[in-house]
Amino acid sequence: MAFVTTDDGAEIYYKDWGNPDAQPIVFHHGWPLSSDDWDAQMLYFLAEGFRVIASDRRGHGRSSQIGTGHDMDHYASDVSAVVEHLDLHDAVHVGHSTGGGQVARYVAEYGQPQGRVAKAVLVSAVPPLMVKTDANPEGTDISVFDGFRQALAANRAEFFQAVASGPFYGFNRDGVTPSEPVIANWWRQGMTGSAVAHLEGIKAFSETDQTEDLRAITVPVLVLQGDDDQVVPYQDAALKQAELLSDATLKIYEGYPHGMLTTHADVINADILAFIRG
């Protein structure tokens, strides 16, 4: 397996498939998952002739279960370590949920200043800020995230099962048939990671204000989200992202859930491909 060691000693696992001379697409997964969550996208874009890369966030998946640095700054610097190790240029960065925050911070702080990024895609992403504050009255109350922390600390396995079988994929909606293999795969990915990384990651994805990251990004960005996202409300995420970004293309999907990359991969993949080639 391939790893990059960061300056503070985290070992970051990554996948790198395809022709090394092809345009790279770098995928950034959501909480509490791993790069395996991008299987449907990586295989699709590999078949379309791209070089596809994805890493496991520190404390997640096969990356080391380091006890520190579970914040958006370290997430972005870890991405930069992988990108610089592979010497990627003209890359497209695609982030889902927490991975969307990771993309925004990486592009603003590293990729764009270094001239390594061509475009970005934010899918059901957390920026600019999830938690409710005086400046963000439309946000989600802190009590919700405190509930996440309490449930995770009490019984992480049960909590992850409830998330995957319920709101993440919209399997709690009337008329939707849950996929037990999809639920099991989500649970598997989550339980492979570190409990402390997942616990501290809740603060990272909910309380990090990324308004200035979005304002700093000038490369074209595709913003995608479902209007039935029960995890990240689209009115406080995708709509605000499109307003803050200088070159955004916004698409809202009627009835799609937070995990639409899995439930509607055929639609999402085609839309991302059209954006990249457009």
Active-site amino acid positions: 97, 229, 258
Packed helices 156-165 and 180-192: angle between N→C axes, nearest 10 degrees = 140
Q: Which DSSP helix (H) or strand (E) runs through 21?
A: none
> 109 with 76: CB under 8 angstroms?
yes
Residues with Cβ within 8 Å of 129's Cβ and at least 6 positions away in sequence, in order, are 136, 139, 207, 208, 209, 210, 211, 236
- Count CA atoms within 13 Å of residue 256 on its CB side: 21
How far apart CA 275 and CA 249 sit, in angstroms, is 9
How far apart CA 125 and CA 118 sit, in angstroms, is 19
> 35 with 14: CB under 8 angstroms?
yes
How far apart CA 22 and CA 25 sit, in angstroms, is 9
Six token digits for residue 20: 């090394």
How far apart CA 65 and CA 249 sit, in angstroms, is 37
> 60 with 194: CB under 8 angstroms?
yes
